[in-house]
Amino acid sequence: MPLSGESEDTTGEPPWKRVRTTGAIEEGSTLSSLRASISPPRPRIAQSRISSNNGTPRQDEPEIAPGSLISSPFQLTRIRDSPGSLNNDSVSLGKIVCDPMIREMWQFNYMHDLDFLMSNMDPDTKDMVQIHVVHGYWKQESGLHMKSQALKYPNVHLRCAYMPELFGTHHTKMMVLLRHDDQAQIIIHTANMIPQDWANLSQAAWTSPLLPLLPAEKLADQTLAPGSKTASYGSGLRFKLDFLGYLKAYDSRRTICKPLIEELLKYDFSSIRGALVGHVPGRHHVESDNPTLFGWSAIRAILNTIPVHNGGKPEVVAQVSSIATLGVTDQWLQKTLFTALSASSNGQSKPPKLGIVFPTPDEIRKSLDGYNSGGSIHVKIQTAAQAKQLQYLNPLFYHWSGANRPVPPPSTSSAAPSTVASTVREAWQNRTAPGAVTSTPSTVASASSTVASTVREAGRNRAAPHIKTYIRFADEAKTRIDWALVTSANLSKQAWGDGLNAGGDVRICSYELGVLVSPSMYAEDAVMVPTFQEDMPREAVDGKTTIGCRMPYDLPLIRYGADEEPWCATKTYEELDWMGRSYGV
């Protein structure tokens, strides 16, 4: 297996190795390649229905009509062992890279299996595509399997990123595709380039529209045009500025991304609606003249320009696959990261709560890959310092899976106990329709609240999460979203950056990348709503432009019980998973 023998990554990605389990069942093999060549996907545009993937109108086109429905800017990846009904609108690796129109490909990632990548490309053209693999294996003994694989492919070029931080990693997950039809495309996602990550783990991807070449009269570098440094977040021009700024950071010591930068300068980014959140290792001055910020200072700057709903009970939900050592107190989590995530353009907006979605050992046991999926998910809870960290994290934890959703106790319901219980059970037994839910909505009236508790199923309960999302919900019922971020960044100081030092600098250890979207990036009075098992919202909200946000987890969320704790990949578990295996025993 590749990448054996590496030290553990503090940002959350383990070295690639087999989990020691008992039992004879082997973990899943590679995804079947999609061999049919594909043309550029047609935008899913019907009357008042606009696809955010490749169908986003350019900024010089007419405004989006009020009442338009816009599909989610993020897609979930296909789950190999889930039924087709749960894979609606999902994307596979083959769907992205099996295209004979690709002439050059840049792959940025933490783990690379080049044989796996090549097996998913078009068989007739894969040997002609110039493939640049950006990695972080700076040690001579690191990435030996990847390096030996590369010898088989003359068209594969390895490029090692400069890694100044001992505990940092090249954790960014991105593809840039340059095409024969003079278009380019950027895919920012959450999956390592290995078979397991594209099989039965929950992942997500943001895909840019196909970006055309700039007209001849505009071939000058747009990012150097007057006013471009103050271009608004969410605009294509600002995205281009920050994207090229992120790539330029790779070239601080040696040339890594300069050829890609020179290519992308020629393309028109104006069709993009989204803000880039980049992280690069080093010490970064928050008040720098550099227009591109990194880590928590970048997302704070973006959110300071985004309006949020006033009223309600907002909550920022961080859903991650790894939680690093944050400290024995919640100082960094609350005062640094969460303060940045709470920013908005509303001066006196109500401060949101913070929640964290993370799987329990039972959810890993019941996942499609059983304990084998647990090697990709990390939090340490065994030392005294880690136990103190767990004390302040536990009240924030939500379950990843809603499959074991409890029936509310009779004492909290104003309805007859038997009626409430039977309604909830019936709802779960009859949940079939994509997106909503249940054929029989289960609404539990509480003595203290009338918030509906209709179960909305995402269809990823058994696909263990390697995805990372940060979402600000505008209300307690989580019916509206103020903004959403899909990123490679887990909950760690190495990824987001430590607190400010005395000189006003932030230290970041790892390369990370994500995209943040908000309804205000589409239209002034647009709204964003969670969607379930499909990307397109069902109907417009109050006649306004309505953008979907594809959810990876069920709503409403379920708090951990008093005796529950998060999955820990460094512990042993004697209880068997659904395949009959123990873990680490």
**Residue 175: strand pairing partners:** 107, 187
Q: Rounded to an integer, what distance in angstroms lies between the CA atom of residue 325 and that of residue 205?
A: 27
Strands (E), 299-374: 315-319, 322-323, 353-357
pLDDT of residue 413: 35
**Residue 159: strand pairing partners:** 134
Q: Which 3 state secondary structure label does DSSP give 41?
A: coil
Looking at the predicted structure, is the pLDDT value of residue 55 above 50?
no
pLDDT of residue 139: 84
Of the candidate ranges 54-63, 131-140, 246-255, 318-327, the one whose mean pLDDT is the lowest: 54-63
Percent residues over pLDDT 90 in the chain: 71
Lookup: tokens for 273: 């609606």
Interior angle at CA 250, CA 245 and CA 254, nearest 5: 130
Q: Rounded to an integer, what distance in angstroms lies between the CA atom of residue 398 and that of residue 424?
A: 20
pLDDT confidence band for 221 (50 / 70 / 90)? low
Strands 204-207 and 512-517: unpaired
Q: Mapped to the 3 state alphabet, what secondary structure does 439-450 carry?
A: CCCCCCCECCCC
Q: What is the pLDDT of residues 526-581, one digit of tens each?
A: 999 999 999 999 999 999 999 999 999 999 999 999 999 999 999 999 999 999 99
Of the candidate ranges 3-17, 122-136, 498-512, 559-573, the one whose mean pLDDT is the lowest: 3-17
CATH 3.30.870.10, applies to 72-275: yes
Q: How far is CA 215 from CA 61, 267, 277, 286, 357, in A?
A: 16, 9, 28, 35, 45
pLDDT confidence band for 222 (50 / 70 / 90)? low
Of the candidate ranges 123-137, 174-188, 348-362, the one whose mean pLDDT is the lowest: 348-362
Strands 156-160 and 204-207: unpaired
Nearest to 11 by CA among 134, 167, 163, 162: 167
Q: Rounded to an integer, what distance in angstroms lies between the CA atom of residue 22 and that of residue 328?
A: 35
Q: What is the pLDDT of residues 428-470, one digit of tens each?
A: 334 333 343 333 333 333 333 433 468 999 999 999 999 999 9
Q: Rounded to an integer, what distance in angstroms lies between the CA atom of residue 47 and that of residue 69?
A: 9
Q: What is the pLDDT of residues 296-351, one digit of tens each?
A: 999 999 999 999 998 889 999 999 999 999 999 999 999 999 999 999 999 777 89
Q: What is the pLDDT of residues 370-398, one digit of tens each?
A: 999 999 999 999 899 999 999 999 999 99
Mean pLDDT of the chain: 85
Name the residue type at position 176: V
Q: Which 3 state secondary structure label does DSSP give 548?
A: strand
Q: What is the pLDDT of residues 61-95, one digit of tens each?
A: 457 888 999 999 999 999 999 999 999 999 999 99
Looking at the predicted structure, is the pLDDT value of residue 293 above 60?
yes
Looking at the predicted structure, is the pLDDT value of residue 11 above 70?
no
Lookup: tokens for 56: 């986003």
- Give the domain ranges of the chain: 72-275, 406-451
- Higher-scoring residue by pLDDT: 255, 416: 255
Nearest to 376 by CA among 585, 173, 532, 75: 173
Q: What is the pLDDT of residues 163-176, one digit of tens each?
A: 999 999 999 999 99
Half-sphere exposure of 483 (CA within 13 A, CB side): 29
pLDDT of residue 137: 93
